[in-house]
Amino acid sequence: MGKTLYDKLWESHLVETRDDGTALIYIDRQLLHEVTSPQAFEGLRLAGRQPWRISANIAVPDHNVSTKASERAQGLAGVKDQVSRIQLQTLDDNCAEYQIPEIPLNDERQGIVHVMGPEQGATLPGMTIVCGDSHTSTHGAMAALAHGIGTSDVEHALATGCLIQRKMKNFRVSVDGELSFGVTGKDIALAVVGAIGTAGGTGFAIEFTGSAIRALSMEGRMTLCNMAIEAGARVGLVGFDDKTLSYVAQTPFAPGESHWDQAEIYWRTLHSDADAVFDREIRLDAATIQPQVTWGTSPEMVTAVSGRVPKLEEMATDTARQGLERALFYMGLEPGMSITDIKPDVIFIGSCTNSRIEDMRAAAAVLKGKRIAANISQALVVPGSGLVKKQAEAEGLDQIFKDAGMEWREPGCSMCLAMNADKLEPGQRCASTSNRNFEGRQGFGGRTHLVSPAMAAAAAVAGHFIDVRDLVEVGL
């Protein structure tokens, strides 16, 4: 019987299996950031342990950082919130103490950990990659076994170079055909979450296959794998191909010349065998996927932009009806209303889901020569890393955003989870390119609608959700 990509990655990192059904899995790379690592380092310290392999790790501050240029110019001193500043300082101190490589706050390579990793080649095909952040699934786009962990496991990976795991089941999501203009990896991701639900992938590693996935750029694949966790799957995967190779080849930490050929030979094996068996499969037709908009407080509460908010009587169970009622109350929406009648107050383009150069370009293409609507009180564009920012500026994209009336910020997680000052006010409604529309996620009482960068830009211009294809000419 053939093996899935997940099976291959699992087996190549399997240190030992135990009678109780658990296994020890070797970890090639751990990404660290300021929020979920302090207690792990403290644990090491209390137990008198040292990191197993220092160079398995790389750290970067991202969640708490200010995205305002004036504050960033002052370094850590510019972080006004003292609790945040201490946390950021603690990351620096821990990395210094344990000699862990850290990309510091104002280095141009600094950025959201899941943007920086692939961009630097710190995360490579075939690796096992962990991070104390559920969106670590992003790195599966490079045919790597990557998943989020809690802080105890951050400490475990630091101390032992391994994690105690159980093998997941295999889930294949095939998307064949051609995506129509204006439809992106984000829309596939949201459509998948809508199809299987936020718990549909629990216990599974999801591999995305099919011609529509092959056609996606590496950035698009990262967006897709990033959101595997929103379908409950810790792991998202895309098989290795020439696009992966070209992407990796231009990264600074790509294998050196002496190892490159050996690496490429191995990487070429990183795909599921033709006769591999999956525990679960679904198929989507790319041509039927429309731009998606979430209307509720869970990513599975999603529909096409041409759709409408569900009605209570359409719910099958009491729990679902109560969930819908609660979501609509929180979101301030009427049952049955058209998605295009929903008017955001705030636009957020950024996050580990959608802050890469392709995302910046997609938003700018819609915004070029246009202004944001009068009802939009704030529009933030937050590039995922200093390098994305630099590239966007070289292409003049920052000017397009500024001319449209948007704010062009410094890299960080920003309003995706609002740990810094970028947050929604109670009742404010946001068209957001991030990944979670949970209650309070973007700020206490804030309301989130998840969309692609092009759809966020279209909503900014129109002042309400609109099919981006109605706003810009096909082929733009």
**Nearer Cβ to other proteins, position 322 or 377?**
322
**Nearer Cβ to other proteins, position 84 or 340?**
84
Q: Nearest distance from residue 368's CB to other proteins, in Å?
A: 34
**Nearer Cβ to other proteins, position 126 or 310?**
126
CA 355/CA 362 separation, integer angstroms: 11
* Token couple for 399: 């000017």
**Nearer Cβ to other proteins, position 233 or 289?**
233
Q: Nearest distance from residue 294's CB to other proteins, in Å?
A: 13
CA 359/CA 356 separation, integer angstroms: 5
For residues 76, 153, 201 and 119, what is the CA-based torsion angle, rounded to 10 degrees?
40
Q: Nearest distance from residue 354's CB to other proteins, in Å?
A: 18
Q: 218, 241 in Cβ contact below 8 A?
A: no
**Nearer Cβ to other proteins, position 151 or 290?**
151
**Nearer Cβ to other proteins, position 42 or 176?**
42
Q: 327, 297 in Cβ contact below 8 A?
A: yes
Q: Beta-strand (E) ranges in 295-436?
A: 302-304, 346-349, 378-381, 407-408, 429-432
Q: Nearest distance from residue 146's CB to other proteins, in Å?
A: 12
Q: Nearest distance from residue 304's CB to other proteins, in Å?
A: 22
Q: Nearest distance from residue 262's CB to other proteins, in Å?
A: 7
Q: Nearest distance from residue 361's CB to other proteins, in Å?
A: 28
- Position 304: which residue type? A
Quick one: the chain helix, strand, coil %, rounded to 5? 40, 15, 45
Three-class HEC string of 412-470:
CCHHHCCCCCCCCCCCCEEEECCCCCCCCCCCCCCEEEECCHHHHHHHHHHCCCCCHHH
**Nearer Cβ to other proteins, position 127 or 173?**
127
CA 455/CA 459 separation, integer angstroms: 6
How do beta strands 162-165 and 23-26 pair?
A: antiparallel
Q: Nearest distance from residue 34's CB to other proteins, in Å?
A: 9
- Position 82: which residue type? Q
**Nearer Cβ to other proteins, position 283 or 326?**
326
CA 367/CA 350 separation, integer angstroms: 15
CA 302/CA 436 separation, integer angstroms: 12
**Nearer Cβ to other proteins, position 22 or 391?**
22
* Token couple for 317: 């169970």
Residues in the chain: 476
Rounded (5°) CA angle 78-80-85: 80
Q: Nearest distance from residue 60's CB to other proteins, in Å?
A: 9
**Nearer Cβ to other proteins, position 81 or 393?**
81
Q: Nearest distance from residue 373's CB to other proteins, in Å?
A: 28
